[in-house]
Structure 1
């Protein structure tokens, strides 16, 4: 393991675990809800806040990597992450699960993820660096590929808790082989500005929390009359406050630079077109991935009644394609520029979203759905093979940790937005469609009024098979219960269709960021220089 590729093997193992947590539990949502006696909305918040914790404190993690040393940050972060995974494995309720997963694991990851990016750039150069970043992308792809299957298998035949116990073991292996990774970066003696940390964290938390609550409070007009601000939904006010805090964060960074003090983020690197294009494309990639991995398992499990393993198998075409095309993207990088490869991937995302939109039927049991999932994976794989190297190649060695932190922010903010935004589209549209369908149905007026009253604050996402019993317990006749179940199933289908449409809209936005991606093959010049030095 101590050979040329030992470092990337260790770092890819850590990256595998970071990504695994974002996909492995999605197929187990309904089981965890039952085991911990919680709700789908609570699980959505837990999944969202795991990535949001990382996004909110990623810049701090990157800066601590400069102060402590990148390898030491990797070590400390791996220990914290392992503690969080162990806590989650033993969680007796949703509160402990939230603390262990969303908070402790997230805080460990803010040290690990920027360190991975910086250490890859530190240990490799030329095309070897391109390949190493592609390996990191492939590790994420493998985690996406096997995550649903691991989660599905263990949840179906053992317990979802073993997933987190396994993560403790992998992080222990990373710690065991930590010395394989070289750290040539000099430590920086600087004081971290606490106000900057608070401003950035609060801003990101408020913005994503506001998006998360759209499903409950509405976008502008309130859906719950007892939760309003000036007669409107609290959402636009929360997002506005978050946006103001984000603006104040950037004002603070510029002030620190003028005073000769160390900023939490050197805003100058955000003026680099290549970096902006790389992290923007990365954010869109993770938004689409997280959105897909939230809405599809929810529909497969709750609308169609699949268990966790069957759900993982239905997602498998995306997973396989992601790994295969990550490898293909690495090979293409020797001949094609990141801009060409990424644009192929981004166009593939648009096409995949439209194919998935056309695949929606009551059972999702058709070749169109499988083709749409495979095409999604292929597009995401091409992007994964390029974007890490694009971002880190945009800066010098002194800014590797900072660039890794920015990359981690966009990556996890994209994941948070994917789960919050696309998930909220699904849940909010379910409420609207269901209410409209009930009002247009032949159900008696008193029954319609009772249903309207009970769903005033939103429609709970429940298994379609459970609706008849819920309806009968509420006093409806057997015939009315079956009619209501049919309405609910149709509403679930239409909400999935709207969610795929939202993914198509997000995918189109990805093309905006690819304009400034490098139009030349990366790594070729460094490789030529190394060969010339070796021959002289």
Structure 2
């Protein structure tokens, strides 16, 4: 038990970091009503939280180099705990934005890179594989358990208790964190301010643009913003395209600045040379692909279960539970597989397994849910995640020296954030696009709907069809003065097209997941063989070919 004490501390912290945002997503309606705001206000808070994480994750990792990873972890835990308590006591949206989106976000950018770095520092060899497998399993379990915990809290208590609990947990973590072994920080290290500004602004602009794509459109403007009554869509192009272009320009400037600092013998915020390491580059891109898939799935499944089938948050959480079971089980199996199979092959098996699970979920998503196929599909999805989780964190950290673990931790957090943002945005915008197109075509083709009502529907969905239930759609139509027969016909068409669009979006996730198998090419193709000195020998492993 003593041997894994540090891992328990890090694992508990990892659980809190991931649980937080999933609970907020599933409790969004309840929180909005409690704070006297609307869904748009809550979506702004969620977006701001994502921006804070994206903007400062690399800086958080670098501060770990300067202060020491353990100290950064403790400071981040304090900041995060204060943010959680502020969120729990928030009387309105403004305080929630400050406590959750800003303060918690700033705490997280210190804690998340430190967790990965401290795991790499405290464990080596076989134990490091187990440690990163466990952290990966905890991440997936927290993501899957979030809807269940959020559902329980919002149904039987209050969402505020979740954040009180987080504050208490981080306080306990702080008390026992002194036992974590660390490397000394470099107090003389000077962080380049321009690099921080370029990194923060580039990542924030990129993530903001991607997240707004569901509303504004990627290229063709759907519902662009207005300033003083003037629509912002230069040359008929969505603002998202300009934001992403601007982000790439800023990030190119950032990369160039890092190279200049390295060439001048100064310390960069990010060692660009690390990205030329094949194992790290491949590990990070697969990390992003993994979180793309999980974010996309956690967008599609709640829409299907809650909006189409009418499940509540608690029922949704229970349906997702098999994913957690598969993830925990296969993360353990994956850590054992690493003694007989290379990281490349285990990751490929994991990615393929993930794809098979998504295909089963796709088959199960019907007007009437096929419970067993859905449960098996979610379990297999979790199994794929578990196999990936057992490899990628360890591969990324093993690709660099211990002095660079904080930077890699920051990179992992950044790629995780990017994967999640792109997963939600791409699948969400595709779903809305397909729903709008299919619904409009179906309405215009129906002979049971009067022409004037067709015109009303066309105008109402010109900027994208809303994501609402069949009952809500029919009620809205009746309130607008549409005749009951026509309202019933339109609502039925809407429900049919909604399910069809959701299935197509889910199939896209399946296809992209299989394509992402090629990203594993740069992962190690050899099997680590422990050398004399024990399974936790700091001298490291030798390698032998996989032979497969």
Query: One fold, TM greater than 0.5?
Result: yes
- Tell me the residue number matched to 2:265: 260
Structure 2 counterpart of 1:318: 323
Separation in 2, partners of 1:263, 1:530: 32
Superposed CA deviations along residues 42-97 of structure 1, whole A, max 9, x for unmatched, are 55554454344223211100111111111110011111111222232233444543
Residues 100 and 436 (structure 1), Cα distance of their counterparts in 2 relative to 1, 3 Å cut: farther
Quote the offset at 1:262 in angstroms. Answer: 1.4
Identify unmatched segments of 5+ residues in structure 1: none
Shift of 1:119: 0.9
Aligned to 1:337: 342
Query: How many angstroms does 1:310 deviate by?
Result: 0.4
CA distance in structure 2 between the partners assigned to 1:425 and 1:162 by the alignment: 35
* Residue 446 (structure 1) aligned with residue 452 (structure 2): yes
2:234 is aligned, of 229, 232, 245, to 229
Higher mean alpha-carbon deviation, 331-340 vs 219-228, is at 219-228
8 Å CA contact 1:17, 1:167 repeated in 2:
yes
Following TM superposition, by how much is the alpha carbon of 1:302 offset from its aligned partner in structure 2, in angstroms? 1.7
Deviation of residue 505 (structure 1)?
3.1
What is the correspondence of 1:115-514 to structure 2 with a 5 Å cutoff? 115-224=114-223, 226-441=231-446, 442-514=448-520
What pairs with 1:58-73 in structure 2 (closer than 5 Å)? 58-73=57-72
Worse overlay, 273-282 or 14-23: 14-23
Matched, 1:107 2:106: yes
Of residues 398-407 and 413-422 in structure 1, the stretch that sits farther from structure 2 once superposed is 413-422
CA contact (8 A) 1:278 1:391 kept: yes
For 2:122 and 2:463, the matched residues in 1 are separated by 54
Q: How many residues align structurally?
A: 532
* Aligned partner of residue 4 in structure 1, secondary structure: helix
Give the alignment's Cα RMSD to 1 decimal.
Answer: 2.3
Distance 2:233 2:75 in 1: 43
Question: What SS does structure 1 have at the residue aligned with 2:404?
Answer: helix
- 8 Å contact from structure 2 (residues 64, 185) kept in 1: no
After superposition, the Cα gap between the structure-2 partners of 1:432 and 1:34, relative to the gap in structure 1 and judged at 3 Å, is farther
Residue in structure 1 matching 2:525, options 503, 519, 527? 519
CA contact (8 A) 1:26 1:294 kept: no
- Counterparts of 2:88 and 2:508 in 1: how far apart (Å)? 34
Please give the alpha-carbon distance, in whole angstroms, between the structure 1 residues aligned to 2:410 and 2:271: 11
526 and 201 in structure 1: CA distance in 2 versus 1, 3 angstrom threshold: farther
Task: State the Cα deviation string for residues 5-41 of structure 1 (Å, max 9, x = none).
Answer: 1111111111111121243344334444554565656
After TM superposition, give the deviation of residue 109 of structure 1 in Å.
Answer: 0.8
Deviation at 1:210, TM superposition (A): 2.1
Aligned partners of 1:93 and 1:487: how far apart in 2? Answer: 39
Q: CA 1:300/1:531 → structure 2, altered by over 3 Å: closer, same or farther? A: closer
Aligned position for 2:543: none
8 Å CA contact retained: 1:285, 1:380: yes
Contact 2:119 2:128 in 1 (8 A): yes
Deviation at 1:436, TM superposition (A): 2.4
Work out the CA distance in 1 between the residues paired with 2:396 and 2:537. Answer: 25
Q: Is the 8 A contact 1:83 1:104 kept in 2?
A: yes
Identify which range, 409-418 or 267-276, moves more after superposition: 409-418
Instruction: Show the 5 A alignment for 1:36-115.
Output: 36=35, 43=42, 46-115=45-114
Which deviates the most, 276-285 or 221-230?
A: 221-230
TM-score, normalising length from structure 2? 0.91
Q: Deviation string for 1:335-372 (max 9, x for gaps)?
A: 22211111101111222222222222113334322222
Give the aligned partner of residue 228 of structure 2.
none
| Larger deviation, residues 310-319 vs 130-139 | 130-139
**CA positional deviation for 1:203:** 1.6
Report the secondary structure of 1:159's partner residue.
Answer: coil
**CA–CA distance in structure 2, aligned partners of residues 99 and 428 of structure 1:** 33
Name the CA shift for 1:91/1:365 in 2 (closer, same or farther; >3 Å).
farther
Question: Residues 282 and 151 from structure 1, CA distance in 2 versus in 1: closer, same or farther, beyond 3 angstroms?
Answer: same
CA contact (8 A) 2:123 2:536 kept: no
Q: Cα–Cα, structure 1 residues 33 and 463, in superposed 2: closer, same or farther, change >3 Å? A: farther
1:286/1:52 Cα in 2 relative to 1: closer, same or farther (>3 Å)? farther
SS at match of 1:362: coil
Q: Is the 8 A contact 2:282 2:521 kept in 1?
A: yes
Which shows bigger deviation, 35-44 or 398-407? 35-44
Displacement of 1:204 after TM fit? 1.8
Alpha carbons 2:124, 2:537 under 8 Å: kept: no
Q: Which residue of 1 aligns with 2:227?
A: none
Q: Deviations over 1:287-344 (max 9, x none)?
A: 1111111221122112221111101011111121111111111222222221111110
CA distance in 2, matches of 1:137, 1:526: 28
Of 20-29 and 123-132, the range deviating more from structure 2: 20-29
